Amino acid sequence: MTVWTGSSHDLPAYRLWFFPLVALAVPFLCWAGRGNRYHVRPVLVAWLIALILPVGTGFVLNPVDEAFRVWPVVFSSLFALLYLIGQRWWSEGPTVGQRPFQTVGALGVCGLAVMMSFGGAWEPVGFLQRDKPLGTIQESLLFATATGFPVAALAMWVRSWTRRAWDEVLVGGATLFAIVAWILAMQTTGTMGAVLLNVYLFVLGTGILAVGLQQRRLATVNAGMAILAVMILCRFFDMDLSLVVRGVAFIVVGTGFLAVNWFLWKWRRAEG
C-alpha cells in the first residue's frame, strides 16, 4: 500500500471523485422516497448525505482554502444550500429527525456565523502568497467546485424571495453576508468581517423571532431568542467586562426568554 507523505497540494486526483460519489446517492434517495419521502430509509440516506458532505468538502477543498482562505464563503454557502434544499423538497417533515438537511444546514449556518462574529476568525483571510500558482487541472477543478457552492446557494436564495419564504431568506442570506465580509476582510482587517457577521446574527435572530411570533410557533420563537442570546453573550465575553455585568446580562437574557414564552403561551391559550 502506498502511503502519501507530500503536501496537501500534491494529493492524488481521486479527491475529485468525492462529489460525484455523493451525487450517486441522490437517485437512490429519490427512489427510496418515491412513496413516502419521510420513511426511515430515505431519511437515513438524507442524514448521511447531510453529515458527510460538509466533512468531505473540508478535506477535498483544502488546497483551495490554503490558497485563498475561502472557508467562510464555501461553508456558509454549503450549509445555506442544505437548508434551502431541505425546505424546498422536504419541508413537511413533522419532526427534526425527518428534516436532516434543514437541521444540519440551520445549525451549520448559525454556528459558523457565531464563529465568524469574532475578529480572529478573519485573520488571515484572502489571497495569500503561494509557492506556485493555482494552475494545475486538479486545482482548477477544485476552485470551480468551491465557486459552485455560493453560486447555487445564491440562485436558490433569490428564488426564496420570489416565493416569500422568509425563513429561507433569513438563513440563505448567510451566503451573501459571508461573501461581502470576506471581501471586506481582504481590503481592511478582520474587524469589518466580524462586524458584518454580528449584523447578520442580529437580523437572523430578530427575523426568526418575528416569523415565530407571526406563526405562533413556540419552537421558532425560542430559536430566534437563542440566536440573539448567543450573540449578546458572545459580545459580553468578547469584551473586558466585570463578572457583575456579565451576571446581569445572563439574568436579562433569561428573563427575556421567560417573558416571550409566557406571553406566547397566554396568546395561544386565549385562542383555545
Is 233 within the bounds of a domain? no
Are 210 and 191 a contacting pair, CB within 8 Å?
no
Number of domains making up the chain: 1
Is 6 within the bounds of a domain? no
Helix (H, G, I), strand (E, B) or coil at 132: coil
Q: What is the pLDDT along the chain (272 residues), one digit of tens a residue?
A: 333 334 444 444 567 788 888 989 889 888 888 888 888 899 999 999 999 999 999 888 887 777 677 888 999 999 999 999 999 888 888 888 889 999 999 999 999 999 998 877 887 655 444 444 555 666 677 778 888 999 999 999 999 988 888 899 999 999 999 999 888 887 766 678 888 888 899 899 888 988 888 877 878 888 888 898 888 888 777 665 556 656 666 676 667 667 766 776 666 666 65
Is 222 within the bounds of a domain? no
Is 230 within the bounds of a domain? no
Is 242 within the bounds of a domain? no
Is 247 within the bounds of a domain? no
Tell me which residue range forms the domain holding 150.
11-204
* Amino acid at residue number 128: L
* Amino acid at residue number 3: V
* Amino acid at residue number 238: D
Q: Is the peptide bond prior to 12 cis by the omega test (within 30 degrees of 0)?
A: no
Are 39 and 32 a contacting pair, CB within 8 Å?
yes
Give first-to-last CA distance, the chain, whole Å. Answer: 68
Is 111 within the bounds of a domain? yes
Is 270 within the bounds of a domain? no
